[in-house]
Structure 1
Amino acid sequence: MDSHFTNILCVLSDSHRQDDVVAQAIHIAKSNQASLTIMLTLEALPPNANMVMESFAYIDSHQSMESQARNWLTEQEETWSKEYPLQTVVKIGHPLIDIVTGVLRHHYDLVIKRSEEGFLDRLFGGLDIRLFRKCPCPVWVLSKKNRSQYKNVVAALDLNYHYPKHEISVRKKLNLDILRHAARIAMLEFAQLHIVHVFDAVPENIVRDGFISVDNDQMETDLAKIHDEREQALESLLSELESELAPDIIDFLQPEKHIVHGYPRREIAATTKSLNTDVIVMGTVARIGVPGFIMGGTAEETIQQLNCAVVGIKPEGFDSPIKLDKSEQVEE
């Protein structure tokens, strides 16, 4: 099962209360026997700062900030390295660009960071949401009350395949990738694996507001058909995953399936909370060819309602809108 990580980047945005974040990153790196880099990324001084500071003071302040950041991180590295070998780097500039270009340059296959605490960050698209949109590798955002060991892992799948043929293939591969990662996390953590799919036949607000009339008996029949269709799609995915795994792994995991009728933008989060979920694995981009395209806002709205860790997965062929400079040599 090709879902383990080999080269992990842990992102810190300040020097406060970071030991638990690094401890979780070390735990994940150990579980995957992966290399680990800790990046302290800070916003550069505002561009207009040199308008209110003499030029030498502006340069001195920037250099002082960088020097102090490096000294702090070097001291922390000595402590953290006793638990697991790791590297550290300081970046001062634009965190999103520094992280994504770092992923492209050094071929990181997972980014780990703590979730942002500010309501406005979530509401207006803070760094977490922008990484879910634009980072080319999986992004694992830890919750503020992160547990040292996970007990419940959720794979959130979109089993609706009523799309053009070329898009169905992408969606099926994304679902299988989500399931692979969730299954691996569950195995490593000895956790319960839950699979959640929410479907909505007719948007409830349209029915409720009387825009269309619906035969209730016919609707119940249709809902039963959709449920059966999604259950068959899930069984097909599980069969494909089982063929990749060692014998009896699926029996060991005993995944619990939750196929729920409701409004996805609300019920994915509600179901996840009801399961006392520690981490949810979900797709944050559903279409290729549209850089940074969030699937209809469903993923973004769901993430903003969650209080657990989130692992965001991109579909095969995703192309980040952030690029390396053409003159920059990519390190192999």
Structure 2
Amino acid sequence: MTKYKNILVVADPAQDKQPALSRAVQIARMSDDVSITIFLAIYDFSYEMTSMLSADERQAMRRGVVMQREAWIKDIIRPYVEDGIKIDITVVWHNRPYEATIAEVFSKHHDLVIKATHDHPKLGSVIFTPTDWHLLRKCPVPVLMVKDHSWPANGKVLGSVNLAADDETHEHLNNAIVDEAKDMAELLGAEVHLVNAYPATPVNITIELPEFDPASYTDAVRGHHLKSMKALRHQHGLPEEQTHVLEGLPEDIIPQVAQDLDAGLVILGTTGRTGLSAIFIGNTAEHTIDSLNCDLLALKPEGYISPLSPNL
């Protein structure tokens, strides 16, 4: 069983192979009564700039392109539909794919968005596009970014928790991440692991304050994180060997642990309207998350309101 019953798959117009659709079908086959919609937002600026055409003619050309894409998607989904999987098709003309996708989420009350990432040919990792980042930041429901591979049986699900902050929002989000990891692990027959990164001692402090003891400071920070992780794992009934507390930046530690475990899925929380604050902040971190070599599921905190909400 899974709580995801109404999945929106964002189609990749550049290729016939659709890893996001494959992943949605995988979830549907493991669950009961899951509906899937495959969604594509298309736009061709040249059709808008043709002054020789009337508005009606431009509209007819746009409709022709939409119908071509609908036929293309029908060919892609045919094997799944013949196998009994319920899949709907939605193709719209829109120049901002992420806005169209989020509007569709609000309109049809989808509870999960699945989108494929692009492989980095040299590094064996993934590349997130601007559309990916907009969805991760602004989509009101969980977003699953997938690579072109199957989830392994008896694999690992890695939940990334933030134990530095004591506020209620992060506490709720940490619990949501662990609960999600346990749910996905049950669905996949996988093992749950948790990871937390704590910061290294700032070099400038040791220079500016000669009496400062960096070793004691580091021990205190590590001790706080270990204590918090112990409380979290006890609360959720997880063994110590499935939790990892390491010194370093989250954007370095998370991909490292995911690779060491050969995790099939990493789950993290996104907080704030401006991006992946608390875990990923700034351009540097946004680029280094590309080194994740597995699927990524991003959750929003309870009560999150998308800046693209029609109610704003």
TM-score of Structure 1 vs Structure 2, range by shorter chain: 0.7 to 0.9
Indicate which of 208, 225, 229 corresponds to 1:212: 208
Is the contact made by 1:174 and 1:315 (CA closer than 8 Å) also made in structure 2? yes
Q: Does 1:87 align with 2:83?
A: no
Match for 2:143: what amino acid? V
Q: CA deviation at 1:137?
A: 0.4
Q: CA deviation at 1:322?
A: 0.6
Is the contact made by 2:195 and 2:244 (CA closer than 8 Å) also made in structure 1? yes
State the alpha-carbon separation in 1 of the partners of residues 27 and 251 from structure 2. 29
- The aligned residue for residue 293 of structure 1 is 275
- The aligned residue for residue 98 of structure 1 is 100
Q: CA deviation at 1:190?
A: 1.9
Q: CA deviation at 1:226?
A: 2.3
Post-superposition CA distance 1:171-192 (Å, at most 9, x none): 0000111111111222222223
- The aligned residue for residue 175 of structure 2 is 176
Q: Does 1:257 align with 2:243?
A: yes
CA 1:169–1:268: 2 relative to 1, 3 Å: same
Is the contact made by 2:158 and 2:195 (CA closer than 8 Å) also made in structure 1? yes
Is the contact made by 1:12 and 1:18 (CA closer than 8 Å) also made in structure 2? no
CA 1:83–1:211: 2 relative to 1, 3 Å: farther
Tell me the SS of whatever aligns to 1:88.
Answer: strand
Q: Structure 2 regions of 5+ residues with no counterpart?
A: none
Post-superposition CA distance 1:88-113 (Å, at most 9, x none): 22222131112111111222111111
Q: Does 1:109 align with 2:111?
A: yes
Is the contact made by 2:111 and 2:142 (CA closer than 8 Å) also made in structure 1? yes
- The aligned residue for residue 72 of structure 1 is 72
Q: CA deviation at 1:325?
A: 7.3
Q: CA deviation at 1:292?
A: 3.8
CA 1:135–1:38: 2 relative to 1, 3 Å: same
CA 1:33–1:238: 2 relative to 1, 3 Å: farther
CA 1:173–1:41: 2 relative to 1, 3 Å: same
CA 1:269–1:70: 2 relative to 1, 3 Å: same
Q: Does 1:230 align with 2:225?
A: yes
Identical columns (%): 20
Q: Structure 1 regions of 5+ residues with no counterpart?
A: 163-167, 243-249, 327-332
User: RMSD between aligned alpha carbons?
Assistant: 3.0
Tell me the SS of whatever aligns to 2:231.
Answer: helix
Match for 2:275: what amino acid? F
Q: CA deviation at 1:53?
A: 5.0
Indicate which of 129, 133, 137 corresponds to 1:129: 133
Match for 1:105: what amino acid? S
Match for 2:299: what amino acid? I
CA 1:182–1:215: 2 relative to 1, 3 Å: farther
State the alpha-carbon separation in 1 of the partners of residues 234 and 64 from structure 2. 57
Listed as ranges, the matches of 1:188-199 within 5 Å are: 188-199=187-198
Q: CA deviation at 1:302?
A: 4.6
**Number of residues paired by the alignment?**
300
Q: CA deviation at 1:301?
A: 4.3
- The aligned residue for residue 12 of structure 2 is 13
